[in-house]
Amino acid sequence: MNSRFTNIVLAFILPLLLVGQRSDSLLVELNKREGNERVPVLHQLVVSEWLNYPNLAMTYGEEALSLSEQTNDKPNISKSLRLIAGVYYYMGDYEVSLDFNTRALNLAKEIGDSVLINNGYNNIGLIYYNLGSYQTALEYLLRAKQLKLRLGEVYGLPTTLNNIGLVFERVGQFAEARIHFNEALQASLKAKYQDQEVYSLNNIGNTYLREEQYDVAQSYFREASALAIKIQNINWGAVSLRGLGEIMLHHGRYDSALYYFQKSLDASRGIEDKKGISESFYLLAKLALRQQDFTGALGHLDNSHQLALQLKLRQQLLDNLKLYALIYQQMNDDAQVILYQSRYSGLRDSLFQDVVVRNLSLIPLKLKEEEDRLKMSLQQAEIDKKNATNRLYIIILLIVLPLLIFLALLVRKNIIANRVLRERNDELLRTQKLLIMSEKMASLGTLASGIGHEINNPLNFIMNGAKTLQERIEKRLPGQSDEFAPFFEAIDEGVSRASKVVRSLSHFSKSGMEMTDRCDVNEIINNCLVILNNRIRNRAEVIKNFTTEAVRVKGDEGKLHQAFMNILSNAEQAIEHDGIIRISTEVDDDKVRISIKDNGVGIAPENLEKISDPFFTTKPAGIGVGLGLFITYSIVDEHHGTIKVSSKPNVETEFIVSLPLHTEA
Amino acid sequence: MRDLSNITILYVDDEDINLFLFKSSFEPKYEVITARSGKEGLEKLEGYHDKIIVVISDMNMPMMNGIEFIEEARKTYKNIAYFILTGYDYNQEIDKALKTNVIQKFFTKPFVSAEIEAAVEAAFRSVRGA
């Protein structure tokens, strides 16, 4: 009883609110402004008037558009176009509205304004919904929803969510529809957008109504109508009233139903909402039919149908034709029933055809969009791939680079190791040859010493035999010894010479003894000359200029013999005939200076620096190995001495050996 | 001071000619006992060590060389001068023997009798404390 009373009061009050005062302050503001500055105010005016006074809204919209176009203010042109599209929408002219919305959307895309693009998607979706292209509608609306969520545009979200719900409701998926309406309700509460709150409540109510859950539906419609009054939203208030009326109609409370429908009609009339008027007449017709008032029903229905035709309200037209058939059926006018039923199916078919045609015409557009999307995703994939490849390259580089560096280091190390190895190998080869050489010398020494022993004993026989013999002769034939003397002297001389040679040879075997020996340089040179005597004698004269005292150096006697032997032997070999070899020794401070000069072929200037190199030789292969002077240099170096060489080929070649003197400790 | 003719020398050499010539060279001045090997030399020392003042040995001999013989002899007969007379020249073994006083002197063949005489007489003087 109580709720019914409230409803009646509500229905009574609503029309009184018809003359809304909301736009007054905006008009005052508009009058204060001039030119372009009017545009934002004009836009607000369009929104505030389009539901109630579409014609007025249209004039505002057109002014805003023309002002924006004069200054080529693209964002405002787009917005004006969209608002005009909205006005057409509320006037039921969906095709024109679609055209304006599309223009607005394209411009929005051109300037890249996300908010405008998103509004475009929403509106176009809504129009397709009204045109019966639900699939397309849903696509646009979902796109709008996505964009809004992404942009965080809380204010526009409830509208889009409600529209999505409407699509589901229209195709009979009430539960799904309700989910979206409820989301819309939550979003409106969050955004404190009460118009959308009323709209959401009405929509939810409608879903319950369709599912014949009348009590639940009623509570939603009541809540909606109460809020509508509060915020003076006549349009949605009228919708609530029609919902309540339908519930009354179901319960068979015809008076109440009539009341609600009548008030709803008044409200819609008051705001020139032709869609609402048409719906109200339709419901009145339904009520009349229930009361078996066929004339009244047809009258109301005619009114509804006229407006529906005018606004091309497709769903309303279909509903109306169905109702006509039902009325005539109850009037038993079969001819009319058949007529309206065929009109119904004809319209349905043509609508279906429209939808198909529209969808077909959308195919290239959608294909292009799809293609663009695909291209973009391909490009993205390409970029991703490139990035991945780059990352891979970097990773590979990061892995490979250290490896390469490591390898390079390894190779470098290897090269160095190789070089060291080669050097060592060369060194080893040199040492080996030297070893062979010194082995030769050593065996020569051993041989010499062996032979020496075997020769010295017979020499002993001769010398001491002769000596004893000489003594005995003197004893037995006193005074006659003079006669024998020259023979004994010859024997003495022979033995002495042979003994000298043997002794000289044996000096070469003395290598390996401690370096503490005191070696007499003069004696060493003499020993060498004894051995070379045979070769020198016929070709050269040896002129010696030695110190009177023995010159002693600390060293290895055998090695020093080798060293001087090599120099003297070279001097000898440089001379072909009539040569002179000058050898002098002199003490110079703490050194002994030994100079060996010859007037042989000499050493070419380019070879002077090489003579100390191992294996350097100017002799034919097989004759000289080129170790002689190298050994000499090594030995002198071991004895802390130096060698200086100068040569004027065929004039004079001089070797100067300096050795530290042995100082008595 | 004792008479030089009382000097007795032991000469060891494996060659008979050397023994003969040595004996011939020094017999007029000294008494010369000879031995043909180190082993025989030790036997002679056992018999005549009271008389022998100087031992002169060849270096290169079979079984026992000069230094080995002298090292052995020295163990028992310390108051004798030991010399080496060798066909070889100076070598490391002789060098070591000289440094460790196993031998007092060494001479090379062919020998010069005057050198040996000087060394023998010097040894005689020092050994007999003349």
Instruction: Name the band, by pLDDT with cuts 50, 70 and 90, for residue B46.
Output: very high
Position A22 scores a pLDDT of: 52
Task: Write down the mean pLDDT value for chain B.
Answer: 87
Residue B45, in any domain of the structure: yes
Q: Is the pLDDT of residue A513 over 70?
A: no
Mean pLDDT of A68-81: 89
pLDDT in tens, A52-61: 778 888 999 9
Q: Is the pLDDT of residue A17 over 70?
A: no
Q: What are the chain A neighbours of B25 within 8 Å (beta carbons)? A: 464, 467-468
Residue B79 maps to which CATH number? 3.40.50.2300
Mean pLDDT of A496-515: 67
Position A614 scores a pLDDT of: 67
Position B127 scores a pLDDT of: 66
Instruction: Name the band, by pLDDT with cuts 50, 70 and 90, for residue A296.
Output: very high
pLDDT in tens, A362-403: 667 667 777 777 777 788 888 888 888 888 888 888 888 888
Q: Is the pLDDT of residue A21 over 50?
A: no
Q: Is the pLDDT of residue A288 over 90?
A: yes
Position B34 scores a pLDDT of: 95
Residues above pLDDT 90, as percent of chain A: 26
Residue B105, in any domain of the structure: yes
Using CB atoms and an 8 Å cut-off, which of residues 63-92 of chain A contact chain B? Answer: none
Q: What are the chain B neighbours of A452 within 8 Å (beta carbons)? A: 87-89
Q: At what angle do helices A294-311 and A314-330 cross, to 10 degrees?
A: 160
Residue with tokens 């082995």: A439
Please provide residue A476's backbone torsions phi and psi, each rounded to the nearest 5 degrees: -85, -35
CA distance A67 to A38: 8
Residue B120, in any domain of the structure: no
CA distance B46 to A64: 156
Strand-by-strand arrangement of the B8-12 sheet: B31-35, B8-12, B52-58, B81-86, B105-108
Scanning A508-576, the segments in alpha helix (DSSP H) are 521-536, 557-574
CA distance A484 to A545: 37
Nearest chain B CA: its distance from A457 CA (Å): 6
Q: What are the chain B neighbours of A557 within 8 Å (beta carbons)? A: none
CA distance A47 to A80: 11
Inter-chain residue contact A468 with B24, CB threshold 8 Å: yes
Identity at A516, one-letter amino acid code: T
Identity at A524, one-letter amino acid code: I
Tell me if A429 sits within 8 A of A625, measured CB to CB.
no
Q: Is the pLDDT of residue A242 over 70?
A: yes
Q: Is the ipTM of this complex over 0.90?
A: no
**Closest CA in chain B for residue A462:** B110
Position A618 scores a pLDDT of: 73
Q: What are the chain B neighbours of A468 within 8 Å (beta carbons)? A: 21, 24-25
Mean pLDDT of A31-52: 84
Task: Write down the mean pLDDT value for chain A.
Answer: 84
Position A582 scores a pLDDT of: 94
Does A468 contact B at CB distance below 8 Å? yes
Helix (H), strand (E) at residue A171: none
CA distance B73 to B52: 12
- Number of separate domains in chain B: 1
Residue with tokens 């022998």: B52
Residue B10, in any domain of the structure: yes
Instruction: Name the band, by pLDDT with cuts 50, 70 and 90, for residue B103.
Output: very high
Please provide residue A518's backbone torsions phi and psi, each rounded to the nearest 5 degrees: -95, 110
Position A305 scores a pLDDT of: 93
- Min mean pLDDT across A477-481, A596-600, B68-72 is at A477-481
Residue B125, in any domain of the structure: no
Position B130 scores a pLDDT of: 44
Mean pLDDT of A207-235: 91
Nearest to B25 among A457, A464, A512 (CB): A464
Mean pLDDT of B75-104: 87
Domain encompassing residue B37:
4-110
Three-state SS sequence of chain B: CCCHHHCEEEEECCCHHHHHHHHHHHCCCCEEEEECCHHHHHHHHHHHCCCEEEEEEECCCCCCCHHHHHHHHHHHCCCCEEEEEECCCCCHHHHHHHHCCCCCEEEECCCCHHHHHHHHHHHHHHHCCC
Residue B94, in any domain of the structure: yes
Instruction: Name the band, by pLDDT with cuts 50, 70 and 90, for residue A15.
Output: very low
- Tokens linked to B99: 């440094």
Q: What are the chain B neighbours of A464 within 8 Å (beta carbons)? A: 21-22, 24-25, 110-111, 113
Nearest to A452 among B15, B18, B88 (CB): B88
Nearest to A457 among B18, B95, B113 (CB): B18
Nearest to A461 among B21, B88, B108 (CB): B21
Mean pLDDT of A37-60: 85
Inter-chain residue contact B89 with A468, CB threshold 8 Å: no
Tell me if A282 sits within 8 A of A274, measured CB to CB.
no
Residue B127, in any domain of the structure: no
Residue B116, in any domain of the structure: no
CA distance B21 to B6: 20
Inter-chain residue contact B87 with A503, CB threshold 8 Å: no
Q: Is the pLDDT of residue A180 over 80?
A: yes
Mean pLDDT of B75-86: 92
Inter-chain residue contact A467 with B86, CB threshold 8 Å: no
Position A95 scores a pLDDT of: 83
Answer with the residue of higher pLDDT: A481 or A287. Answer: A287
Residues above pLDDT 90, as percent of chain B: 49
Q: Is the pLDDT of residue A4 over 60?
A: no
Nearest chain A CA: its distance from B130 CA (Å): 30
Q: Is the pLDDT of residue A616 over 80?
A: no
